[in-house]
Chains A and B, each alone.
Chain A
Amino acid sequence: MTPIQMTFSTNFLLGLMGLTFHRTHLLSALLRLESMMLSLFLATSLWALQLSTINIATVPMLVLAFSACSASSGLRLLVATARTHGSDHMQNLNLLQC
């Protein structure tokens, strides 16, 4: 595994760990999601340079566009949660427990 692959893999896995062990705020979970997509953007951007294939050069833009769409969707869900639950604390999201 090349150093570059190790770098973005570590970046992604740190973001995934942060997402899994979120404690208080929904906003931090969304932030981790964004950091995961950022590491994927880095990976695809460096791909064309490292592996000398140029036909996937547009892939970073597609990944960025869709991650922006899902980020905006997450933010509007955050606003909706703040409207209905009062805050974005994760402990408040307990209306649906079995």
Chain B
Amino acid sequence: MNPYLLIVLLTSLGLGTALTLSSTHWLLAWLGLEVGTLAILPLMAQRHHPRATEAATKYFIVQATAAATLLFAAFNNAWLQGHSDIQHMSHPLFTSMITLALLLKLGLAPMHTWMPQVIQGVSLNTGLIVSTWQKIAPFILLLQIKQIHPPLLTIIGLASILIGGWGGLNQTQLRKILAYSSIAHLGWILLILQHSTALATYALLIYIFMTSATFITLKKCKATTINMLTTTWTKAPTITLVAPLMLLSLGGLPPLSGFAPKWFILQELTQLNFIPHASIAAMAALLSLSYYLRLSYSITLSLSPNNLPECLQWRVNYPISTPLSSALPAALALTLFLLPLTPSALTLII
């Protein structure tokens, strides 16, 4: 893509999120969300492939509907209430409508069906942006709304964890697997959203690091299906060592950093006496873990039984360093080694 165009689009993406994060009025929040949506559409459709066009169309319709519903509920609430502050909404119906619109924007169950399709249709870099950056602005808005019906977020969070686990079990396309894993992680964040904003922010941050590391690794291996992952050890042996650890961090196993958000979320839920929610969430995390293990099996645990010097890829692969792959060491370090620093991280966020 033309570098000037790329700079304009990426700046608009950042501008959109910054507008939403800094707004107290619903109109400015909606403006920021719309700018973000409009800026990412050319990035999604730049390949002129039928799948990319279809993904961009579906993404646009979903996001535009959610944004219009958000604005409608915000204006109705302001009409009835007198002011249109984000943090002081009081009408139950329109607060729930705004919450549902934001959850549609995020791709949580039961409004999740567009996520796997959209992330599958676009390239890995754009999928990374959709999975990580585009989630920040709706989450910040969700954090600020006072929930009138607390069970709504809890039920949707649990449903997202379950659907994220079950949906990814039958997939071979890596981008769809990452989409379902994204749904599951956002479900975990949603569970704790109303009880502790610090933990929700921390979980979102760790999720962004882990997902970025995974997408950049897949981009480096140029792998989009599970079968293509099996040749990783010829392309980048170091990634073959580290990728299982990264996937297990996504699954939430100690002593990797993915364990920290799950641990603290379960601790907070049990302290507040939500034992069934905590149990269901912990059990449903096993479903996601099974497909992460499947991926790490294809990368590392199944090598062909020949001598190492014999097994070279027959296609010569010159090492490509895209601008994004220079971020891989940082993302990997944050994905693997952040657990001992959790107390200081939480102090920074609280």
Interface residue ranges, A against B (CB under 8 Å): 1, 5, 9, 12, 16, 19, 26, 29-30, 33, 36-37, 39-40, 43-44, 47, 51, 59, 62-63, 66, 69-70, 73-74, 77-78, 80-81, 83-85, 93, 95-98
In the complex, chain B residues whose CB is within 8 Å of the CB of A36:
65, 68, 72
Which of B44-52, B137-145, B290-298 touches A?
Answer: B44-52
User: Assuming A5-B76, A12-B72, A16-B69, is B64 touching A70 (CB within 8 A)?
Assistant: yes
Which of B34, B80, B116 makes the CB contact (< 8 A) with A70?
A: B34
Does any Cβ of A come within 8 Å of B27's Cβ? yes
In the complex, chain A residues whose CB is within 8 Å of the CB of B69:
16
| Most B Cβ at <10 Å: residue of A16, A70, A78, A85 | A70
Residue of B whose beta carbon sits closest to that of A70: B64
Does any Cβ of A come within 8 Å of B17's Cβ? no
Q: How far is the CA of A9 from the CA of B54 in the complex (A)?
A: 31
In contact, B31 and A62 (Cβ under 8 angstroms): yes
User: Assuming A77-B45, A85-B53, A95-B51, is B76 touching A9 (CB within 8 A)?
Assistant: yes
| Most A Cβ at <10 Å: residue of B48, B54, B121 | B54
In contact, A47 and B75 (Cβ under 8 angstroms): yes
Which of B55-63, B212-220, B233-241, B317-325 touches A?
Answer: B55-63
In contact, B76 and A59 (Cβ under 8 angstroms): no
Q: How far is the CA of A51 from the CA of B76 in the complex (A)?
A: 12
In the complex, chain A residues whose CB is within 8 Å of the CB of B50:
84-85, 95
In contact, A40 and B60 (Cβ under 8 angstroms): no
Q: How far is the CA of A98 from the CA of B51 in the complex (A)?
A: 13
Does any Cβ of A come within 8 Å of B120's Cβ? yes
Q: Tell me which residues from 330 to 344 in chain B have a Cβ below 8 Å from any Cβ of chain A.
A: none
In contact, B60 and A74 (Cβ under 8 angstroms): yes
| Most A Cβ at <10 Å: residue of B49, B51, B68 | B68
Residue of B whose beta carbon sits closest to that of A72: B38
Residue of B whose beta carbon sits closest to that of A12: B72
| Other A-B pairs beyond A40-B72, A77-B60, A93-B54, 12, CB < 8 Å | A43-B79, A47-B75, A47-B79, A63-B27, A70-B60, A74-B60, A77-B45, A85-B50, A93-B57, A95-B50, A95-B54, A98-B170
Taking the closest CB of chain A, its distance from the CB of B193, in whole angstroms, is: 25
Taking the closest CB of chain A, its distance from the CB of B59, in whole angstroms, is: 9
In the complex, chain A residues whose CB is within 8 Å of the CB of B37:
70
In the complex, chain B residues whose CB is within 8 Å of the CB of A26:
57
Residue of B whose beta carbon sits closest to that of A20: B65
In contact, B34 and A29 (Cβ under 8 angstroms): no
Taking the closest CB of chain B, its distance from the CB of A29, in whole angstroms, is: 6
Which of B38, B79, B176 makes the CB contact (< 8 A) with A51?
A: B79
User: Assuming A40-B75, A59-B27, is B117 touching A96 (CB within 8 A)?
Assistant: yes
In contact, A98 and B53 (Cβ under 8 angstroms): no
In contact, B121 and A96 (Cβ under 8 angstroms): yes
Q: List 19 A-B contacts (CB under 8 A).
A: A5-B76, A5-B79, A9-B76, A33-B61, A33-B68, A40-B71, A40-B75, A43-B75, A62-B27, A63-B27, A66-B34, A81-B57, A84-B48, A84-B49, A84-B50, A84-B53, A93-B57, A95-B51, A96-B117
In contact, B56 and A37 (Cβ under 8 angstroms): no
Does any Cβ of A come within 8 Å of B244's Cβ? no
In the complex, chain A residues whose CB is within 8 Å of the CB of B58:
93, 96
In the complex, chain A residues whose CB is within 8 Å of the CB of B116:
96, 98
In contact, B27 and A77 (Cβ under 8 angstroms): no
In contact, A16 and B54 (Cβ under 8 angstroms): no
Does any Cβ of A come within 8 Å of B270's Cβ? no
Q: Which 4 A-B pairs have the closest CB atoms?
A: A96-B117, A84-B50, A36-B68, A80-B53
Q: How far is the CA of A32 from the CA of B54 in the complex (A)?
A: 19
Q: How far is the CA of A44 from the CA of B228 in the complex (A)?
A: 53
Does any Cβ of A come within 8 Å of B87's Cβ? no
In the complex, chain B residues whose CB is within 8 Å of the CB of A62:
27, 31
Q: How far is the CA of A84 from the CA of B55 in the complex (A)?
A: 12
In the complex, chain A residues whose CB is within 8 Å of the CB of B120:
96
In contact, A16 and B51 (Cβ under 8 angstroms): no
